[in-house]
Amino acid sequence: MKTPNNKPIVLITAGPTREAIDPVRFISNHSSGKMGYAIAGAFLEKGFDVVLVSGPVNISLSHPGLTVIPVNSADEMYAACQPYFSIACVAVFAAAVADYKPAQVYSQKMKKSAYEFSLQMVKNVDIACEFGKIKRNDQLSIGFALETNDEEQNALKKLYTKNLDLIVLNSVQDKGATFGYDTNKITIINRDFQFQSFPLKNKAEVAKDIVAAAIKLYQQPEKPAQA
Ligand code: CTP
C-alpha cells in the first residue's frame, strides 16, 4: 500500500488513553508514549510514511512523512485509526489503551457527598483485536505485551487472540524497562514461536530492532499463516 507520494504507510498507536469521568477528571495510566514515537522515528528513517495516532504525551516529533493525530480516549483512538488501517502495510499497536472506561460520563463536575464512592466501568474496544479481525494477508501487525508474570505464555496468548504477526514482550520485572524510562528490554516473538531477545537498550535502538524485524518479515516471500 502506498501514499499519494508513493511511500508505504505505517499506522502506529502510541501513548496512554484518557477515559473521562466528568469534565475535569479522567482515568489513565503512566505510558509516556516514548516507545511508540521512537518506532515512528525508526520507520520514517527507513523511508515509510507514518500515521501516528497518539494519546496525550509530552513529545513532539515532526517530519514531512509524519501525520500525528492526537486523541484522548480509546474510542477516539479506534475511530482515528479506521481510515488508515486498510491503507497501511504495517500497523503497530504501541498504545497503552485503558482496558475499561466509566460506564457513564457525567456532564457536570461530580460533587463529593457520601463517604464511599464507586464507579461502574465497562470494557473498552480492543483496537488491536478489532483490526486483527479484518487484517489482510498483505498486512503486518505488531503488538506489545507488558507483563508482570507468566510473560511468555501471556504474550503468546495476545499474539494469537489479536491476530498479530509479531509481539514485543517486556516485563515490568526488568529494571530500566517499561513506562517512563528511556530504555527498554524486549523479546520479539513471531508466529513460528521464534523468540528474539535483546539486551537493555535506548528506546531509539529498541525501535530500530522492532522495525528491522517488521521489515524482514514483510519482505518474506510467504507470510506466516494467519488465524
Ligand atoms: N491493545 C489495544 N486496545 C486495547 C487494549 C490493548 O489495541 N483496548 C493493544 C496494545 O496496544 C498492545 C496489545 O493490545 O499492543 C496488548 O495490550 P495489553 O494492555 O498488554 O493487553 P490487554 O489485551 O489489555 O490484556 P491484559 O490487560 O489483560 O494483559
User: The domain spanning residue 175 has which CATH number?
Assistant: 3.40.50.10300
Q: Could you tell me what percent of the chain has a pLDDT over 70?
A: 92
- Residue 86: give the domain boundaries: 9-103+120-218
| pLDDT for position 181 | 78
Given a cut of 60, whether residue 2 has pLDDT beyond it is no
| pLDDT for position 148 | 86
Given a cut of 70, whether residue 34 has pLDDT beyond it is yes
Q: How far is the CA of 187 from the centre of ligand 1 (A)?
A: 17
**Mean confidence (pLDDT) of the chain:** 92
| pLDDT for position 54 | 98
| pLDDT for position 8 | 87
User: Of 146, 199, 138, 194, which is closest to residue 166 (Cα–Cα)?
Assistant: 194
Q: How far is the CA of 115 from the centre of ligand 1 (A)?
A: 33
Assigned domain for 61 exists? yes
The verdict on the CB of residue 206 being under 6 Å from ligand 1 is no
| pLDDT for position 194 | 93
Cα distance between residue 193 and residue 160, in whole Å: 11
Element (H, E) at 141: strand 140-147
Q: Which amino acid is at 133?
A: K
Active site residue 170: no
User: Of 141, 171, 180, 154, which is closest to residue 15 (Cα–Cα)?
Assistant: 180
Assigned domain for 39 exists? yes
Q: How far is the CA of 93 from the centre of ligand 1 (A)?
A: 8
Assigned domain for 1 exists? no
Given a cut of 90, whether residue 4 has pLDDT beyond it is no
Confidence of residue 222 (pLDDT cuts 50, 70, 90): low
Domain count, the chain: 1
Assigned domain for 146 exists? yes
Assigned domain for 41 exists? yes
**pTM for the full model?**
0.94
Nearest CA to ligand 1 atom 15: 143
Given a cut of 90, whether residue 175 has pLDDT beyond it is no
The three cell numbers of residue 162 are 489479536
| pLDDT for position 33 | 95
The verdict on the CB of residue 75 being under 6 Å from ligand 1 is no
- Average the pLDDT over each of 56-65, 83-92, 143-152 and give the range with the smallest value: 143-152
The verdict on the CB of residue 164 being under 6 Å from ligand 1 is no
* Closest approach atom of ligand 1 to CA 124: 8
Partnered with residue 201 across adjacent β-strands are 184
Residues 6 or more apart in contact with residue 6 via CB below 8 angstroms = none
Cα distance between residue 191 and residue 140, in whole Å: 12
| pLDDT for position 178 | 64
State pLDDT tens for residues 102-134: 999 999 999 988 888 899 999 999 999 999 999
Assigned domain for 63 exists? yes
Which one from 29, 72, 154, 190 is the annotated catalytic residue? 29
